[in-house]
Chains A and B, each alone.
Chain A
Amino acid sequence: MNENNNLLVRLKNCGVQKSSKWIVKGISLEIYKGKIVTLIGPNGSGKTTTAKMVLNILQSDEGSIENYSTKMAYVPQKISIDWTMPLRVIDFMNLTSHINKDEIIEALELTGVQHLIYKEIHNLSGGEFQRVLIARAIAKKPDLLVLDEPVQGVDFNGEIALYNLIKEICTKLNCGILLISHDLHFVMSATDHVICLNGHICCSGSPKSIVKNSSYIELFGEHNAATLSLYQHEHDHSHQADGSIKN
C-alpha cells in the first residue's frame, strides 16, 4: 500500500510511433517519490522520447500512462533561446511559476551561479546555462523532476558536485527523479533503478544487478562494463557546486 502512495508515474507497455516507425516500444516503468530512476542507452535509443511520455509532452501510441504527479519540473536536453528575446536569468527562473527572489537566489546558490542572476541568458557559457536550468527546476520544488543529460558542458569537478546535488535534492524534496545520463559512474553509485534502453527496454533493475546482465555488457562493451562494476568512488574531500572544497 505504502508503495502505491508514493507512486508518481507508471508507464505500462508504452511506445511512440512516428511515420509508422516505432521510436520506442514496450516501455514499462515506475517512478516513486524519493527514488532516482536512470535511463541509459546509445544515441537514438529513445531516452528523450521516453522522458517526454513521462512528462505528458508526447502521447503514447499504445499501452497506458498513469500520472499522479502534481508538479513536474523539466531540464530539457537542448534549449536555445533566440537572440531577439532579451531574457535575464531572473526572468528565466520565473518562467512557468512565480517564485520569490529569496528562493531564486537560494536555488542559484545551490548550483553555484547566484552571481549571474541579472545576466542575460545569451551571455552565459554552456555550463553556466546548464546550472541555471537545474536551479530553475529545483526552485519549483517539484514532486517529479526529469533531467535530460543535466550536466552536459559542465566542467569535471562541477559535474560531480551537481550529481551530488541531484541526489541531495531527491531526499530533501522527497521527489521522484527520472535522469538521463551518460555518466555511468554516477548511475552505478547513486541511482535506485537503472533502465537500459535501445528502442525497447534491454534490461532493468538495480545498478548492481544490471552490470552482470548480458544485454548490458553487449550494449556498453565488456571493458566498460567490467570497469564499472569494480568502480568505487574514493575521495578524501568533497566539492561544492562551484568547485570549491567543502569542509
Chain B
Amino acid sequence: MFDDFFIRALIAGVGIAIVAGPLGCLVIWRRLSYFGDTLSHSALLGVTLAYSFSLNIAFSVFIISTVVALLLVSLQKRTKLAGDSLLGLLAHSTLAIGLVLIGFLSYIRFDLMGLLFGDILAVTTADIGLVWIGGSLILIVLYFIWKSLFSATVNYDLSAAEGMRPEVSNFIFTLLLAGVIALSIKMIGALLITGLLLIPAAIARNISSSPKQMIVIAILSGILSVVIGLFASLEINTSSGPSIIVVALILFIISLVPLEIKGQLQKR
C-alpha cells in the first residue's frame, strides 16, 4: 500500500498540515508572514547545497533557514533599515544565490518547477518518516514553550516581567519555523510554503473565538486543503503545491461567509 505514491503524498501532507496549524497561527498573530516567506525563499539555496554536497535536503534546508534567521538578527543590530526591507534583501538574495548555484550544477538534472512548487511524485517512504517524526518533535517542543511563546505574542514586556523568558522561546520558535519549512519543501515547494502556514490560520481566525479553537480549526482546514488539493492534482495533473494552496484559498473565501452574515446582522 505504501508504494503507491499518492498514498505517500497524502500521509506526508496530512502530517505537514497538522504541524503547520499551530505554527501558522503564531505567524499570523506575530505578523511574521514575510519572515516565513524569507525563510522559504532561502530554502531553495538549502536544496542546491544539499545536491552539491550530497546532504539530506531537509537537514540542509533547516540549516540554511536558521542561518538566514540569525543573519537577520545581526543585520537588524547593524543597520537602521526597516525590518521588511532587510527581509526582502535576504529573501531575494538567497533565492538568487540558489538559482545561480543551480546554473553551476549543470551536471545534475534539476526539476526546478518541483523545487519551487512541490512535487508529490518525489515523496518517498523515508520522507513520510521524516515528516511524522520531525513533526512530532516540533509539536512536543512547541507544547513545552507554548505558555512563554503565547504570552510574549500578546505582550512581550508583560511576559518578560512575569518570568516567562520570552527571548528563549522566541529563538526556539524561529528554529521550529525553519523546521516546518524543511519538512514541507518537497511537497509544497519553496515559493508556496508560507501559504500553507498562513491560509489555514486565516480561515480559522474568521470562524473561531478562542486561541485553542483557532489552532484546531487551522489544523483541520490545513488537512482538508491537502487532501482535496492532492486529489485535484491527481485528477487534473497539476503541481501539488499550487493545487493545495488554491483549495485553501477557496476554503478561506467560504470562511468569510459567516463573518459577512454576522456583520449584516449587527447592522440591523
Contact = CB atoms under 8 A, between A and B. Distances in A.
A74 B164 contact: no
B162 A74 contact: yes
Interface residues of B, number: 24
B208 A86 contact: yes
Contacts, number: 70
B124 interface: no
A82 B161 contact: no
A17 to B, nearest CB: 16
Given A82-B31, A84-B29, A86-B205, A55 B211 contact: no
Interface string A144-188: 001000000000000000000000000000000000000000000
The 9 closest A-B pairs by CB, nearest first: A55-B161, A74-B161, A96-B162, A57-B160, A95-B151, A85-B29, A84-B28, A96-B151, A79-B155
A118 B211 CA distance: 13
B157 A96 contact: no
Interface string B139-182: 00000000100110111011111111000000000000000000
Given A56-B161, A72-B163, A96-B147, A86 B211 contact: yes
Contact of A95 (B157, B158, B210, B214): B158
B161 A86 contact: no
Interface of B: 28-29, 31, 147, 150-151, 153-155, 157-164, 205, 208-211, 213-214
B160 A92 contact: no
21 contacts: A55-B161, A57-B157, A57-B161, A72-B162, A72-B163, A74-B158, A76-B158, A79-B155, A79-B158, A82-B31, A84-B31, A85-B211, A86-B209, A87-B154, A88-B210, A91-B211, A95-B154, A95-B158, A96-B162, A96-B164, A146-B161
Interface of A: 52, 55-57, 71-74, 76, 79, 81-82, 84-88, 91-92, 95-97, 120, 140, 146
Would you call the interface of chain A mostly helix, strand, loop, or mixed? loop
Nearest to A121: B154
B145 to A, nearest CB: 13
A91 B157 CA distance: 18
Given A72-B163, A91-B210, A96 B29 contact: no
A76 B209 contact: no
Contacts of B151: 95-96
A84 B218 CA distance: 13
B161 to A, nearest CB: 4
A43 B248 CA distance: 48
Contacts of A97: 162
Contacts of A146: 161
B146 to A, nearest CB: 12
